[in-house]
């Protein structure tokens, strides 16, 4: 304190201070090995703050306000704080998410249960975060690395946690699981490149259909890094490639007279049609109007306009089996 002269025997050197800090960490680690949950864990939490206060005056550490976690997280799960369970190491992205969303500091050795144990990490307001100079440097480096990664990360990824399920449906019209399933259908024909993965290509395709954004705007969402003109061309090429792949994989397997056998088609007959037509295959021709928005393409919007309905539409002829199963589509007209 100011105005007080310290006696020589009251001064502790930096090496002794470091040794004392390491010994304190070692003792906390050995204590945690015997802690499971319940009363033992509660007792540990009650005494932890007092132990930190004892060592704090002797340690030259950086204190982070409203950030918790002492960094001894390599022997227990960061979420449930249980030790002696099968765990996996956290990625840098997961650690930074804990810091930003839950005010929880974790070291580079932090782990969590292999099987997800809980949705929210256990609160530990008794564990104020005290960082050494090296730990502070590591934390700043981790933050800058994560910011650099986020800067070039596409709008949607196959393991994205930024968008909610409702956001996915609003932007793409499908859930992440459905998109992954569709991407798996074209992976054998569309390999990953430095500009996009098959999953990202599928997202670009459905965003174009769902929102009608320009190819250039979609390129911005997916952080395509190339020349101005190439961005638009790459997204357009991807869109047409996905169209061809889905047509080859999905349409031929789900539409057309040849995608069902006669026996399979007869299984779609109703009791009514069986009573009147027996084993004869019955097909129903159904003319369908599909209403659409006015296109920016002048020629297309003229072709789609119906004077009879006074709206823009596309006319299709459907071949339907009695129970409503669509066998084939002809058109548009």
Query: pLDDT tens, 283-323?
Result: 889 888 888 888 888 888 888 888 888 899 988 898 899 98
**Dist. CA 158–CA 177, nearest whole Å:** 9
The CA–CA distances, whole Å, from 274 to 261, 264, 281, 282, 322 equal 18, 14, 9, 10, 10
Reduced to 3 states, what is the DSSP secondary structure of residue 131? strand
Residue 30's H or E segment, with its range, is helix 14-33
Provide the token pair at 205: 């395709």
What are 250-283's pLDDT values in tens digits? Answer: 888 888 888 888 888 888 888 888 888 888 888 8
228-253: burial string, b at 16+ Cβ within 10 Å, e else: eeebbebbbebbeebeebeeeeeeee
pLDDT confidence tier of residue 2, bands split at 50, 70 and 90: very low
pLDDT confidence tier of residue 77, bands split at 50, 70 and 90: confident
Reduced to 3 states, what is the DSSP secondary structure of residue 163? coil
Provide the token pair at 331: 């058109």
Q: Quote the pTM value.
A: 0.56
């Amino acid at each position: 304190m100011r105005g007080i002269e310290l006696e020589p025997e009251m001064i502790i050197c930096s090496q002794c201070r470091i040794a004392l800090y390491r010994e304190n960490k070692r003792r906390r680690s050995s204590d945690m090995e015997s802690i499971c949950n319940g009363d033992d864990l509660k007792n540990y939490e009650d005494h932890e703050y007092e132990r930190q206060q004892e060592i704090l005056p002797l340690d030259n550490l950086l204190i982070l306000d409203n950030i918790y976690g002492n960094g001894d997280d390599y022997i227990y799960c960061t979420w449930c704080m249980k030790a002696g369970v099968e765990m996996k190491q956290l990625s840098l992205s997961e650690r930074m998410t804990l810091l930003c969303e839950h005010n929880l500091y974790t070291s580079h050795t932090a782990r969590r249960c292999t099987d997800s144990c809980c949705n929210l990490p256990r609160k530990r307001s008794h564990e104020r975060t005290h960082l050494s100079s090296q730990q502070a440097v590591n934390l700043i480096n981790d933050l800058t690395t994560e910011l650099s990664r986020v800067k070039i990360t596409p709008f949607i990824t196959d393991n994205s946690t930024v968008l909610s399920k409702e956001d996915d449906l609003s932007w793409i019209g499908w859930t992440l699981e459905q998109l992954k399933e569709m991407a798996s259908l074209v992976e054998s024909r569309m390999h990953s490149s430095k500009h996009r993965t098959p999953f990202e290509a599928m997202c670009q395709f459905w965003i174009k259909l769902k929102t009608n954004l320009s190819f250039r705007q979609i390129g911005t969402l997916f952080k395509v890094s190339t020349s101005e003109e190439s961005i638009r061309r790459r997204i357009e090429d991807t869109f047409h490639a996905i169209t061809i792949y889905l047509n080859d994989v999905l349409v031929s397997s789900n539409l057309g007279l040849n995608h069902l056998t006669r026996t399979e088609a007869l299984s779609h007959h109703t009791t009514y049609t069986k009573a009147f037509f027996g084993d004869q295959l019955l097909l129903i021709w159904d003319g369908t109007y599909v209403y659409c928005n006015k296109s920016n393409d002048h020629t297309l919007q003229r072709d789609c306009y119906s004077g009879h309905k006074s709206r823009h539409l596309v006319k299709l002829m459907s071949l339907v089996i009695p129970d409503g199963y669509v066998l084939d589509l002809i058109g548009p007209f």
